[in-house]
């Protein structure tokens, strides 16, 4: 197994290497699904390439509710198998990525006319815990009305009947995707972002190669030959199926989900709450860093796929939901500091509303051999990958006698996850060792795991070179160390990749970020040798991205 680089400066070299060989498997799409498949296949010894036309995780995989969860509501829909599978996956992920999968207590208030009655909730949560194999200490607790109101004093009490407290896990979806891609690269997968699968090449009725365009550098496209090609393009999956001439039978049904972020002071919840909304749906409100985020909506979608917009109607819906359950907070649209909208790539079922559609994944194999995987959840990505790679092995077994290698990803610790002790203790150690960084050391651990050490070490060396520094200079130095890490280890290509998908700062540290934008663009300019005009263009582009997070369409 030859470990592959994920440095941004290696992009061209990786594309060239991919085009000089015949891959066992080319994965199209660098969201969590494609990332998981690349890791599984590379770990089983296949020669793997992955191309992503935007940044890694720029599709749905940076736009979810960011929960690794068992999907309580799927129990209500009778999807027992799905709940069991994602529940078990949750435990595996917690073990393999402890720095970015964090237990989170979730309060489920029981209200008059709500989705769940007291008995049904108690039984449902009991079953949920059992299906998911939840440890004793983390099993659900049922609460009286008084106990529920005490736990969350902002809840309206006139309709409150009691509550349930159960465990979910919080993550950062884009960081999880990047860590899986980094792990795939460490197992030999060649992964490139901003590389679009532009054309499928059919030879004698079989898919033999893919023409890949380097979106950043132009130039002649690459012809990448592969024995097997997987379409893991989420909301874009049907576009590729159409190109392949195989868009028949089942199709995607896209629904849009929106999240809003407000400052913690505006919605100072004591813990995460999953609560009823007047229309019969349920919404999450989740405290995170100095913010609370709220979501989600679920509406049919047929607009452009790259940047689904947040509308004023979406904002009104979510703010009404919050103001209905926490009446004293009186949130207004101008309190929203950031937002995102994502598209669920679900499988269409006649006559079903968005919320009723199954979240199960399905695999389609076309006559040309294109393997498409669609549907599913972030939480279930590892199992989805296993099913796809099992299929690839079965096909390679029939076609060239390749021996089957079983999946072993349940035992692969993800990049950054090999912590010598519990995350909190490890973070405390680093805060002591790198005292110059203060709380930033802790924040970096929950972002990069063991990767935090090299960022902090580099920052320390810089500071050593400059002597005493004030807090602002320390912050800037750390930002530059973090950027350097993202360039060398995480193929960051543009400032917006950094603020959205490598750090999440656009969503959860908006106020701190605003003052840092010029320094960040300067860092990119130095790394890539941009002239002033290009740096200005990139700065304007970044400002436009930041502004779009609080601009809502009518």
Exposure class string for 525-551: b at 16+ Cβ within 10 A, else e: bebeebeeeebeebbeebeebbeebbe
Residue 255 contacts residue 354 (beta carbons within 8 Å): yes
Q: Which residue number, 361 or 453, has a Cβ lying nearer to ligand FAD?
A: 361
- The two three-digit tokens of residue 244, written as one number: 């392949």
What is the distance between the alpha carbons of residues 539 and 204, in angstroms, rounded to a whole number?
48
Whether omega for the bond prior to residue 554 falls within 30 degrees of 0, making it cis, is no
Q: How far is the CB of 53 from ligand FAD (least distance, A)?
A: 4
Q: Which residue number, 376 or 423, has a Cβ lying nearer to ligand FAD?
A: 376
Q: How far is the CB of 490 from ligand FAD (least distance, A)?
A: 15
Q: Which residues pair with 202 in a beta bridge?
A: 207
- The two three-digit tokens of residue 132, written as one number: 């998911």
Q: Which residues pair with 261 in a beta bridge?
A: 293, 338
Q: How far is the CB of 362 from ligand FAD (least distance, A)?
A: 12
Q: Which residue number, 196 or 390, has a Cβ lying nearer to ligand FAD?
A: 196
Q: How far is the CB of 70 from ligand FAD (least distance, A)?
A: 9
Chain-centroid distance, C-alpha 173: 2
Q: How far is the CB of 252 from ligand FAD (least distance, A)?
A: 11
What is the distance between the alpha carbons of residues 153 and 165, in angstroms, rounded to a whole number?
15
Q: How far is the CB of 517 from ligand FAD (least distance, A)?
A: 24
Q: Which residue number, 239 or 405, has a Cβ lying nearer to ligand FAD?
A: 239
- The two three-digit tokens of residue 254, written as one number: 């896209």
Q: Which residue number, 33 or 503, has a Cβ lying nearer to ligand FAD?
A: 33
**Contacting residues toward ligand FAD, per CB under 6 A:** 28-34, 51-54, 58-61, 63-67, 69, 196-197, 232-236, 240, 257, 296, 342-345, 376-379
Residue 54 φ/ψ region, left for φ over 0, alpha for ψ in the -120 to 50 degree band, beta for the rest: beta
Angle between helices 32-43 and 381-400 (to 10 degrees): 50
Q: Which residue number, 29 or 417, has a Cβ lying nearer to ligand FAD?
A: 29
Tokens 């002033």 locate to: 532
Q: How far is the CB of 381 from ligand FAD (least distance, A)?
A: 7
Q: Which residue number, 377 or 509, has a Cβ lying nearer to ligand FAD?
A: 377
Q: How far is the CB of 197 from ligand FAD (least distance, A)?
A: 4
Residue 347 φ/ψ region, left for φ over 0, alpha for ψ in the -120 to 50 degree band, beta for the rest: beta
Q: Which residue number, 122 or 311, has a Cβ lying nearer to ligand FAD?
A: 311
Chain-centroid distance, C-alpha 445: 18
Q: How far is the CB of 373 from ligand FAD (least distance, A)?
A: 7
Report how far apart the first and last C-alpha atoms of the chain are (Å, whole number).
Answer: 52
Residue 254 contacts residue 343 (beta carbons within 8 Å): yes
Q: Which residue number, 346 or 463, has a Cβ lying nearer to ligand FAD?
A: 346
The length of the chain in residues reads 554
Q: Dihedral (C-alpha) 158, 161, 167, 168: value to the nearest 10 degrees? A: -50
Q: Which residues pair with 340 in a beta bridge?
A: 259
């Amino acid at each position: 197994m030859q470990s592959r680089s994920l440095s941004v400066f290696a992009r061209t070299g990786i594309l060239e290497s991919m085009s000089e060989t015949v891959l066992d498997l080319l994965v199209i799409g660098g969201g969590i699904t494609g990332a998981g498949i690349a890791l599984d296949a590379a770990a089983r010894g296949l020669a793997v390439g992955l191309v992503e036309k935007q940044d890694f995780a720029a599709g749905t995989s940076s736009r979810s509710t960011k929960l690794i969860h068992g999907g309580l509501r799927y129990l209500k829909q009778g999807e027992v198998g799905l709940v069991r599978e994602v529940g078990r996956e949750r435990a595996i992920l917690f073990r393999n990525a402890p720095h970015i999968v964090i237990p989170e207590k979730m309060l489920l208030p029981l209200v008059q006319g709500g989705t769940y009655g007291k008995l049904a909730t108690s039984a449902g949560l009991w079953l949920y815990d059992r299906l998911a194999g939840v440890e004793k200490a983390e099993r659900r607790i049922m609460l009286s009305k008084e106990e529920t109101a005490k736990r969350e004093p902002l809840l309206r009490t006139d309709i409150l009947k009691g509550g349930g407290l159960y465990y979910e896990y919080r993550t950062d979806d884009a960081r999880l995707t990047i860590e899986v891609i980094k792990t795939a690269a460490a197992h030999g997968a060649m992964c490139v972002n901003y590389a679009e699968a532009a054309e499928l090449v059919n030879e004698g009725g079989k898919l033999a190669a893919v023409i890949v365009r380097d979106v950043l550098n132009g130039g002649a496209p690459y012809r990448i030959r592969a024995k097997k090609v997987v379409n893991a393009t989420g909301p874009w999956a049907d576009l590729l199926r159409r190109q392949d001439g195989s868009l028949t039978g089942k199709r995607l049904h896209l629904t849009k989900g929106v999240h809003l972020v407000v400052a913690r002071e505006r919605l100072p919840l004591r813990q995460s709450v999953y609560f009823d909304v007047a229309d019969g749906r349920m919404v999450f409100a989740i405290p995170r860093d100095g913010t609370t985020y709220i979501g989600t909506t679920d509406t049919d979608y047929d607009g452009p796929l790259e940047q689904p917009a947040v509308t004023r109607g979406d904002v009104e819906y979510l703010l009404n939901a919050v103001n209905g359950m926490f009446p004293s907070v009186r949130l207004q649209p101008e309190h929203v500091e950031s937002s995102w909208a994502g598209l669920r790539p679900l499988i269409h079922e006649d006559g079903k509303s968005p919320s009723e559609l199954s979240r199960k994944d399905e695999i389609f194999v076309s006559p040309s051999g294109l393997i498409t995987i669609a549907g599913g959840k972030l939480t279930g990505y590892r199992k989805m990958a296993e099913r796809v790679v099992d299929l690839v092995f079965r096909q390679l077994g029939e076609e060239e006698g390749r021996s089957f290698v079983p999946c072993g990803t349940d035992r692969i610790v993800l990049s950054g996850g090999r912590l010598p002790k519990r995350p909190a203790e490890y973070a405390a150690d680093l805060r002591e060792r790198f005292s110059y960084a203060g709380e930033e050391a802790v924040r970096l651990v929950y972002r990069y795991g063991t990767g935090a050490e090299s960022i902090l070490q580099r920052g320390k060396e810089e500071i050593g070179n400059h002597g005493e520094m004030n807090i602002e200079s320390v912050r800037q130095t750390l930002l530059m160390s973090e950027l350097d890490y993202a360039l060398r280890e995480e193929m960051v290509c543009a400032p917006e990749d950094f603020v959205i998908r490598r750090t999440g700062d656009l969503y959860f540290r908006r106020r701190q970020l605003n003052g840092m934008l010029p320094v960040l663009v300067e860092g990119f300019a130095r790394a890539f040798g941009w002239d002033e005009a290009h740096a200005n263009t990139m700065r304007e582009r970044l400002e436009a991205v930041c502004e779009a997070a609080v601009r809502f369409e009518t």
